[in-house]
Amino acid sequence: MSWAQPIWWLAAGAVALLAVVMALAGAAHRRRLGRAFSGEMALRVLPAATRGRRLARDLLAVVGLLALVAALAEPLLGVEFLELEQRGVDLVLAVDLSRSMDAEDVSPSRLERVRREIRDLVDVLEDDRVGLVIFAGGVYPRMPLSRDRGALLTLVDELDTGTFQVQGSELGEALRASSRLLSAVEGEAGKGIILFSDGEAHEIDDALAAAREVSGEGVRIFTVGVGLEAAPIPEGDGTWVEDRAGQTVLTRPSDELLRELASIGGGAFVHSVPAADDMHDLYREEIRGRLEAGENGVVRKEIRTTGFQWPLGLGLGLLLLSAWIGDGRRRWGAAGLALAALLAAGPARAGAPLEADQAYRAGEYGRAAGLLRELALDSPDDPEVWSRLGAASYRAGDFEGAARAWDAAARLDPRADTLYNAGNAQWLAGRLDEALARYDQALARAPEHQGALANKELLQGELSARRQQQQQREQQQGDQGDQGQQGQQGEQGQQGEQGEQGEQGEQGEQGQQGEQGEQGEQGEQGQQGDQGQQGQQGQQGEQGQQGEQGEQGQQGQQGDPQGEPGEEGEGEPLSLEDVQSGEGEQTPLAEEGEVPEGEMSPAQALRLLEGVEEGRPQVVVPGRKRGEKTW
């Protein structure tokens, strides 16, 4: 028998030492009793039966402790090897290490930005194999295709522009070397190259020719542009790289070349940004969307069946029984019954699978999910347990938990039905893109899977409908914004017309006053007095007209021009925008002199507005909507 944690057997020495101490203590106790009592009296104080029970107590305690040590050592009852097929794509990262990558137009430098982008990419990689090629004036395959993410990140941290003595940017040779690295491995997985560079190259025609060669071999090219503008190259001692004439050399990034390489290679171009979204989107939407995942290896996984429950239950039972015996005064009958009950109960190995199955069949899906969740913690490498947990959680309405459980089962055993179930759970959990990805994975395993085909078609229709609704909402919001601007311009135009009418009225009054002044100069004083009286009467008449208009304005505030008094929601007045656009049931505007009862003409409203000064009550002009800004 083998043990998962054999180091715990060192604790058995401490248990043996404890047993020796207990035996010596018992012998010393009996010697003291023999010196204090003699013969028959000693047997009456400490009967032979009591001595036997105390010996049994000590033996039970020692054996119980040894059983606990065995449980900690975790005995292995059997080993099962499970072969898991891995599916993914093959990628080669080609990194530019020319001196131009030391430029600091992006913080802290172009090369450091590339390091961070590769880390962001590694975070979202699935079962993909990745290799590494570095280049400057030469090309060097740094790492073959592997799933060892730790080794890749270690090499990325060691990238340095001083690696190559010969400077330059051999983009074409870097693409060819990456293609050779991809062709050196077997498998049906899609192949792609991710080129990290600022795009500055001397042999542009060679780079384009290499892209055509690589594309002809079925390899797609994805490019990541690093750099914003022309920038000097630091030397490291506070100076800049200079040419032979003593002028500072400026390195200029070229996104145009990188875009053309991606176009020829059937891939995509992305410009580097500080956030991780650029690499996540490049991988999920472009790389996994354009490259077909295929079988690129088999992982042999070892699943061990442990039996720690048996010694654990036995040890706890023996320790409890030893404590119950105590000083040995209790009779054997009760102790025997307790020991028989413990042995009948057996070790604490729960019948969780059977109990969970019974709960599921009885419709107690929540309880079944709880039992299976505990069982999954004990057996995290059992895909059957995760699959049953997904079914119970799905029935219980916990679609998030069901999706997680089926995803875990699919990672251990990627069957088409498991991926299909995971897609259904993701859909009901509201993650439609994840659901679509699961259906695609299920169809990759079983292209004729009817459920995955049907649900994928329905989901694509749902996504298309949602996009159309979003576009319609955005278009409606844009139309409402245009109408609001037109309405504001219309209001400003009306205010301008009213202002011009007010100026004309003032000029007319001034002209009349001027004429009266001339008549006063030509006439006698008596006539002037008569004119003065007439002028006063005229002013009083004007004031009277204004008073009538004020009353009409107050009536306009109290009543609804188009509705019945006291009724809410009926006869809502049209806004100026409605009147201009011709919407709604409009009431014809009365000509000046023909004012319906409870309303006023536009000219009267204009004069009323001209009389409103700062500090006087504001008047609501009939025709505007309730709750809008007053005039």
What are the tens digits of pLDDT across the range 498-508? 444 444 444 44
Give residue 348's pLDDT.
Answer: 41
Within this chain, domains 85-235+248-299 and 352-465 share the same CATH topology: no
Give residue 600's pLDDT.
Answer: 52
Of 38-42, 457-461, 466-470, give the lowest mean pLDDT range: 38-42
Give residue 259's pLDDT.
Answer: 94
pLDDT for 144 beyond 90: yes
pLDDT for 494 beyond 60: no
The rounded distance, in Å, linking the Cα atoms of 613 and 610 is 8
Question: In sequence order, what are the residues at sequence separation of 6 or more whose Cβ sits closer than 8 angstroms to the Cβ of residue 397?
Answer: none
Across the range 126-135, mean pLDDT stands at: 92
pLDDT for 586 beyond 60: no
Greater confidence, 513 or 51?
51
Share of residues in the chain with pLDDT > 90 (%): 25
Give residue 122's pLDDT.
Answer: 93
Greater confidence, 190 or 241?
190
Give residue 603's pLDDT.
Answer: 52
pLDDT for 626 beyond 70: no
Greater confidence, 543 or 285?
285
Give residue 488's pLDDT.
Answer: 46
Helix axes 399-412, 383-395, angle to 10 degrees: 160
DSSP notation for 438-451: HHHHHHHH-TT-HH
pLDDT for 236 beyond 70: yes
pTM above 0.75, yes or no: no
pLDDT tier at 478, thresholds 50, 70, 90: low
Give residue 296's pLDDT.
Answer: 67
pLDDT for 422 beyond 70: yes
Q: What angle do CA 427, 428, 433 make, to 5 degrees?
A: 20
Tokens of 341: 């009950």
Which of 598, 553, 602 is closest to 579 using CA atoms?
A: 602
Query: Which residue type occupies 225?
Result: G
The rounded distance, in Å, linking the Cα atoms of 593 and 383 is 90
SS3 assignment, position 494:
helix
Of 139-148, 152-161, 435-444, 616-625, give the lowest mean pLDDT range: 616-625
Greater confidence, 510 or 325?
325
Greater confidence, 600 or 34?
34
pLDDT for 350 beyond 60: no
Backbone angles phi and psi of 575, in degrees to 5? -80, 165
The residue extents of the domains of the chain are: 2-74+307-345, 85-235+248-299, 352-465
pLDDT for 519 beyond 60: no
pLDDT tier at 65, thresholds 50, 70, 90: very high
Give residue 116's pLDDT.
Answer: 94
pLDDT for 293 beyond 60: yes
Q: At the fourth CATH level, which superfamily is domain 352-465?
A: Tetratricopeptide repeat domain (1.25.40.10)
The rounded distance, in Å, linking the Cα atoms of 239 and 248 is 9
Give residue 282's pLDDT.
Answer: 93
pLDDT for 219 beyond 80: yes
Give residue 343's pLDDT.
Answer: 52
pLDDT for 402 beyond 70: yes
pLDDT for 230 beyond 90: no
Tokens of 456: 């994928």
R_g (Cα) of the chain, nearest Å: 46
Give residue 339's pLDDT.
Answer: 52
The rounded distance, in Å, linking the Cα atoms of 579 and 557 is 20
pLDDT for 629 beyond 50: no
With left for phi above 0 and alpha for psi between -120 and 50, is residue 216 left, alpha or beta?
A: alpha
Helix (H) or strand (E) holding 193: strand 191-197
pLDDT tier at 209, thresholds 50, 70, 90: very high
Query: Which residue type occupies 24?
Result: L
pLDDT for 616 beyond 70: no
Greater confidence, 442 or 510?
442
E strands present in 219-340:
219-225, 231-232, 250-251, 269-271, 294-306
SS3 assignment, position 144:
strand
pLDDT tens for residues 317-340? 999 888 888 766 655 544 455 555
- HSE-up of residue 389 (Cα within 13 Å, Cβ side): 26
pLDDT tier at 528, thresholds 50, 70, 90: very low
Fold of domain 85-235+248-299? Rossmann fold (3.40.50)
Per-chain mean pLDDT for the chain: 74
